[in-house]
Amino acid sequence: MRSVRFSITANDQLNELLAQGERHYSAALIDEKRRLVYVAIRRYIVPFPAARVRDVDFGLYLYPVGKTPFVLVYEFDDVEVRIHFVLHKSTDRLALDPNDVQW
């Protein structure tokens, strides 16, 4: 089974997005959204990473996490899945540069 590696960038983005939600929603709801992200990675992305369409603009895969406003941007090989970004679904992806990711 593949391992999962979150970039520092993705980790910071997820925490920032969840912190924004804390201002408007309960802590329990925020915890549920975080759990849904990790469940999506474990149940869908790790076993079936190529099931999603590869974005032609920067060559990474996109996975919209159900029941959340989040999109995971990742790549993979036989050994691991690398989560590059965690974005809000309305983020302009054309402004992303995979070279800016911090690992």
Each residue's pLDDT tens digit, 6-28: 999 999 999 999 999 988 899 99
Residue 1 has pLDDT above 90, yes or no: no
Helix (H, G, I), strand (E, B) or coil at 41: helix
Q: Which two tokens stand for residue 69?
A: 């406003």
pLDDT digits (tens, 9 = 90+) for 24-70: 899 999 999 999 999 999 999 999 999 998 988 889 999 999 999 99
18-22 LR contacts (CB < 8 Å, sep 24+): none
C-alpha distances out from residue 38 to 50, 55, 57, Å = 18, 22, 26
* Strands 61-64 vs 70-76: parallel, antiparallel or unpaired: antiparallel
